[in-house]
Amino acid sequence: MRIPVIDVSRFTHGSPGERAGVVEAIDRAASDVGFMQIVGHGIPVATEQGLKAALDGFFGLPLDEKLAWRPSEVHLNRGYTAPRTESLSYSLGLTSAADLFEAFNVGTPASHFPGLDLPAATYPENIWPTAPETFRPQIEAWFAATARLARQMTRIFEPALGLPEGYFAPFQDHSVDVLRLNHYALPEGEVRLEAGQMGMGAHTDFGIVTILWADPVTPGLQVLDGAGLWHDVVPIPGALLINLGDVLARWTNDRWISTMHRVLPSIDAQGRPHRRRSAAFFHDGNFDALITCLPGCADADRPARYGPVTVAEHISAKLAGSRGLKLNKNAAHEAQRLRSTS
């Protein structure tokens, strides 16, 4: 499997022909793979260095200090998640051993939209650790940069799907956006895994589009192709990985792919532990946006395969699986894809 590399700066600053080339490349990647590598994204190197420093500073703390920054309730998508407390496969309705990763989540709170009466459970306030001191400004800088890029991607999606300019704007003006910082590292000398245990279990992302920064480490991220085979994905220098989520797949009636992916345990072929870091920005859309099939994505030969659902309803069912370990009964299509893997 080849993950295409696309220079998105040509959509904004290129000639009409270059702009059309970006649109065509996005459509092809979204239809064939569901993943792409983005260069020309405009995020400064200093912002990326700040992200790395924040990851290293927080995850380098002792476990008891990190545990102090857990959310008060498991369904709140904020704060620290300890290793072996989530299982992403449950979001597909399938059981598995607990995943090995630890994480820290921040997102857009309701207070950022003072004119709207948004539910605090969906837009909770962030939990900011007091150490390291630079953590919050470094993470807020990365959050803002990837939020801008996510919206740039939806502006490219519009012509790629034959939609008018600004079509997606009303669906994302109070978007549920979450940045999840992930750390994969077994304690030195610990190599015993449960049967089928993953760094992060197989899953599809929940929303519109995900922007992923990741260490170029293998074994690590793998994506599933249409034949049921897993493939390693390693970002090239300077690139960000972009993948599509369930909301966009539902919108396009699966014309575009919400690609199944997983992260292998952080040990090499000789059983030696190694570290891997990633930061996934999830742009999920407004909580009250009703997702129905987009114009031109269904016809008599390909009728709409998904019923209407709000973003909040969809995300709630997914999170109840991965974090609450309640099997999601609304992901039969995705679960079948996983059962057929090799």
Longest dimension (CA), the chain: 58
Per-residue pLDDT of the chain (342 residues; tens, 9 = 90+): 889 999 999 999 999 999 999 999 999 999 999 999 999 999 999 999 999 999 999 999 999 999 999 998 877 889 999 887 766 555 555 555 566 789 999 999 999 999 899 999 999 999 999 999 999 999 999 999 999 999 999 999 999 999 999 999 999 999 999 999 999 876 555 556 555 566 788 889 999 999 999 999 888 899 999 889 999 999 999 999 999 999 999 999 999 999 999 988 777 666 666 788 999 999 999 999 999 999 999 999 999 999 999 999 998 887 775 555 555 555 555 555 555 554
Tokens of 103: 């994480």
Architecture of domain 5-339: Sandwich (2.60)
Residues 6+ apart with CB under 8 A from 141: 47, 50, 51
DSSP 42-76: ---HHHHHHHHHHHHHHHTS-HHHHHTT--SSTT-
DSSP 268-292: -TTS-B--EEEEEEEEEEETT-EE-
Tokens of 120: 């605090």
In contact, 55 and 291? CB cutoff 8 Å? no
Residue 101: per-residue pLDDT: 81
Measure the CA–CA gap between 125 and 30, rounded to whole angstroms. 33
b/e sequence 322-339, b meaning 16+ C-beta within 10 Å: bbbeebbebbeebbebbe
Residue 311: per-residue pLDDT: 95
| CA angle centred on 179, ends 175 and 182, rounded to 5° | 155
Host H or E run for residue 147: helix 135-160
Sequence ranges of the domains in the chain? 5-339
Residue 75: per-residue pLDDT: 78
Residues 6+ apart with CB under 8 A from 131: 57, 58, 61, 65
